[in-house]
């Protein structure tokens, strides 16, 4: 006695695939593939953008930490560049001298356009601290009224193919350092 279930099982157990089943499978794959691909590319963009943003932030924070350490150690702060009559003036560089007796013990910070970097020139030699700087927006400023050094830093945007329109630091990072209790040499 053959029942409906047995006929269906026999039909499902037949060998081979019909053309309709094959076309239906290809249509489903054709619909699902672009969705999966766009989710994958979105994930890669988010990962690359997040990594880029964190890398830019880390490099700038590292420089800020080193400058803050130099200000804490410095006995004399030598601000170099800009017109002396200006209350707030843009600087070529800042030199932190760590001893009143030995002026050869220093760290000098400056933006080097050739290297596209924020450079630390120590008494023992040069060290590039932060690369890929946007020089149209990065600078040191000295405010003689409040006796503070203002650092404006803008990393270059990453325009890699994967990260088009991705995460970049969009604005200038501004940090103010007080040198109120330091001897400031305004050459």
Domain spans of the chain?
31-186
pLDDT digits (tens, 9 = 90+) for 3-56: 665 555 555 555 667 889 889 999 999 999 999 999 998 888 788 777 777 877
Nearest to 151 by CA among 118, 120, 173, 119: 173
Could you give the CA distance from residue 149 to residue 33 in angstroms, rounded to a whole number?
A: 55
Using DSSP's 3-state secondary structure scheme, residue 140 falls into: strand
Sheet of strand 148-153, all strands in order from the earlier edge strand to the far edge: 88-91, 139-143, 148-153, 173-178
| Residue 2 DSSP one-character state | -
pTM over 0.85: no
Q: What is the rounded CA–CA span in Å between residue 125 and residue 5? A: 86
Distance CA 91, CA 134 (A): 16
pLDDT of 94-147, one tens digit each? 899 988 887 788 989 988 877 778 888 888 887 767 777 777 788 889 988 888
């Amino acid at each position: 006695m053959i029942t409906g279930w047995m006929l269906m099982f026999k039909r499902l157990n037949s060998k081979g695939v019909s053309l309709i089943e094959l076309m239906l499978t290809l249509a489903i794959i054709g619909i699902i593939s672009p969705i999966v691909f766009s989710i994958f590319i979105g994930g890669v963009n988010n990962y690359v953008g997040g990594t880029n943003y964190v890398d830019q932030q880390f490099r700038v924070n590292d420089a800020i930490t080193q400058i803050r350490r130099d200000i804490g150690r410095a006995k004399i702060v030598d601000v170099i560049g800009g017109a002396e009559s200006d209350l707030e003036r843009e600087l070529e560089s800042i030199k932190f001298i760590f001893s009143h007796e030995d002026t050869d013990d220093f760290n000098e910070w400056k933006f080097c356009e050739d290297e596209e970097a924020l450079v630390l020139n120590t008494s023992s030699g040069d060290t590039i601290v932060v690369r890929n700087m946007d020089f149209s927006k990065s600078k040191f400023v000295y405010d003689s009224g409040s006796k503070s050094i203002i650092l404006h830093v803008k990393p270059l945007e990453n325009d890699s193919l994967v990260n088009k329109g991705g995460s970049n630091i969009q604005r200038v990072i501004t940090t103010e350092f007080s040198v109120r209790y330091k001897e400031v040499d305004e050459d």
